Structure 1
Amino acid sequence: MAGGTERILRGRIKAMQSTKKITRAMELIAGSRIVKAQQRVQAAVPYSEQITEVVKDLAAAGASNDVPMLAGRDEVKTTCYVAITADRGLCGGYNAGVQRATEGEVKADVLAGKDYTIVPVGKKAEGYFRFRDYQLSQSFMGFSDQPSYEDARRIGEYVVDLFVTGKVDKVELVYTRFITAGNQEVVLRPLVPLSADTVAGGDGKAGSSDGSGGDYEFEPDPTEILDSLLPRYVEARIYAALLNAAASEHAFRQRAMKSATDNAEELIGSLSIVMNRARQASITSEIMEIVGGAAALDGGDATQGYVDMGDDYFGRRLDEAEKASSGSTA
């Protein structure tokens, strides 16, 4: 019985050692990818800032009155939520945070009597909301850990078309913003229509004579420029959200895999102690059987011979147990 228990424990220890190697490797990979993802986030900032300034200048020139993407609806009846999650699991509560935030907004809309639709980005979002029978639009997946601008362009074209055609009255992004390697937060950001605060403050109004702003001339008409530029602006914002989400995913996965590695080490130590106790119990049982059999035999010489044999066997097995214990501890 004890021998069978020892074999089972030895198998569990071997399995946990293999698991520990996998989780440790995943932790190191995620740690190396965090740096690259963070660099991509920072590299995208200048473009986002510059296109925002251009949009402000065009809006200040009087182009914001006739552009559909800047004119909000009088009544918001349908909201589109772009939920950005990962394509894979093993990243702690990363996916669950975005899913809960989106679900909370949807439930609030339903209670208010409003309609909604969800654009899932990532396999985890698509599977979660489809399993729960939420209203879904087109899904986008397969690029969560390394998004490209082309991925953002496809998402941007789709959500802009939803808004322009009147299928939705508002589009919002739900994603995890990367702050530091140890700090990320789930945020809800309006995407379309652009808010008044976004396009306010531009210095592109022509004919300013106080010197505080620029004297710009736009060719072609500012409205036409802004109408073609706003989809690029939406794509830039989606791309920035995808990059933040990718960096956050790697940070969550690194922490999750470190915790899994630590737990595997702790479990290996606990199982080793239990296995050594089972091995010592097996040795003690064998020694007691030998001594008991020797004592049951008649004849002094024969009894003494079996006792000596039992003493020798006891000494050998005790040495083996001590070596095994010292080897497991090391």
Structure 2
Amino acid sequence: MASAREMRLRIKSVKNISQVTRALETVSASKVRKAINAVTATRSYATKAWQVLRHVAEQPGRDSLHPLLAHRKSVNNTLVVVVTGDRGLAGAYNSNVIRFTSQRFDSNPVPVKYIAVGRKGRDLMIRRGKKVIADFSNLPAAPSFADVSAIGRLAVEEFNSGAVDEVYLVYTDFVNMGRQIATVKKLLPLDLEGEGLVEDFGNKSTGPAAAYEYEPDMREILDEIIPRFTALQVYQAVLESQASEHAARMIAMRNATDNAKELVGALQLAYNKVRQQGITNDILDIVGGAEALAAK
């Protein structure tokens, strides 16, 4: 059994750790509120942009409307944009994203290349031998569209150049504080298989989609909105992932603080037992010495 001094040092160490975890929980609670506000502010616009992309892709002759809508005759390479965090201490947040990505793409019939958004995801994928062609780490705490747009531009350039034939986006969808879901979305070319057209107010249309009228020029408009809306989906995914990361870290630090309190209680009880045992032994030694003197 450990000595009383060792028990005191361990109790002090656990208390110090609990102070750190409590501080991290407080910081994450502040950041998650800001992240949720950012997600809420942009989610409606990103959703409508996604609906516009899907509507455009449902137009007759979609392959001739824009190169980013055209399906390739054969798929020879796949690009996956994986969004994780730059820091740990968020429970299983980062490992869950990488595990989900591995389950989805390890058995892919064609070679897969990755764009890593977040240092933790990059390190985990490199450790597993994945081909990472680009790394976007140390994004601002509150990223703007300009901070993230380079990711979307790179994905569009890889697709336009013919280096890849399809692009997927893997991120964590923020549902609520206690639930975040790893999600995969096909960015390029836009895939509508199995999806009905979502009209305004969330109603689904089962009939043919109404054709858009473009002014002044269809090609000019599509050349502007399709790459921009594609990059917007990446931006929204980053915001969703940041909110999920802060929520996961807050919960993980809260659990760590609670566990530290329980451990301190258990160690304090063990320390009291050791201390009581030491006092009892000292009393026995004194009584034994007194009896020995009395016997003489």
Paired AA for residue 155 in structure 1: I
Structure 2 length-normalised TM:
0.88
Superposition map of 1:52-201 within 5 A = 52=50, 55=53, 64=62, 65-109=64-108, 112=109, 114-143=110-139, 145-196=141-192
Over aligned residues, Cα RMSD in angstroms? Answer: 2.7
Structure 1 residues 10 and 225: CA distance shift in structure 2, 3 A: same
**In 1, Cα distance between equivalents of 2:287 and 2:189:** 89
Superposition map of 1:219-230 within 5 A = 219=216, 221-230=217-226
**In 1, Cα distance between equivalents of 2:269 and 2:23:** 26
Of the candidates 35, 40, 56, which is equivalent to residue 37 of structure 1?
A: 35
Shift of 1:279: 0.8
Structure 1 length-normalised TM:
0.79
Corresponding position of 2:215 = 218
Shift of 1:48: 1.9
Structure 1 residues 195 and 298: CA distance shift in structure 2, 3 A: closer
**In 2, Cα distance between equivalents of 1:214 and 1:99:** 40
Whichever structure has more helix as a proportion of its residues is: 1
Structure 1 residues 37 and 201: CA distance shift in structure 2, 3 A: closer
Structure 1 residues 215 and 258: CA distance shift in structure 2, 3 A: closer
Residue 246 (structure 2) pairs with residue 250 (structure 1): yes
Aligned-partner SS, 2:106: helix
Which whole-Å deviations, capped at 9, do the CAs of 1:284-328 have from their partners, x for residues lacking one? Answer: 1111222222222258xxx8xxxxxxxxxxxxxxxxxxxxxxxxx
Structure 1 residues 278 and 33: CA distance shift in structure 2, 3 A: same
Shift of 1:30: 1.4
Shift of 1:45: 2.3
5+ residue gaps in structure 2?
Answer: 201-208
Paired AA for residue 86 in structure 1: G
Of the candidates 4, 21, 24, which is equivalent to residue 23 of structure 1?
A: 21
Corresponding position of 1:320 = none
Shift of 1:181: 1.1
**In 2, Cα distance between equivalents of 1:269 and 1:73:** 63
**In 2, Cα distance between equivalents of 1:60 and 1:92:** 41
5+ residue gaps in structure 1?
Answer: 204-211, 304-330
Q: Is the 8 A contact 1:145 1:250 kept in 2?
A: no
Shift of 1:25: 1.4
Which whole-Å deviations, capped at 9, do the CAs of 1:100-136 have from their partners, x for residues lacking one? Answer: 1111223111xx3x11101111011110111122111
Which whole-Å deviations, capped at 9, do the CAs of 1:247-292 have from their partners, x for residues lacking one? Answer: 1001111111111111101110111011111111111111122222
Shift of 1:72: 1.3
**In 1, Cα distance between equivalents of 2:282 and 2:67:** 87
Paired AA for residue 85 in structure 1: T
Aligned-partner SS, 1:191: strand
Shift of 1:47: 2.6
Paired AA for residue 233 in structure 1: F
Shift of 1:32: 2.2
Shift of 1:228: 2.2
Aligned-partner SS, 2:134: coil
Q: Is the 8 A contact 2:50 2:233 kept in 1?
A: no
Structure 1 residues 296 and 200: CA distance shift in structure 2, 3 A: closer
Shift of 1:62: 6.6
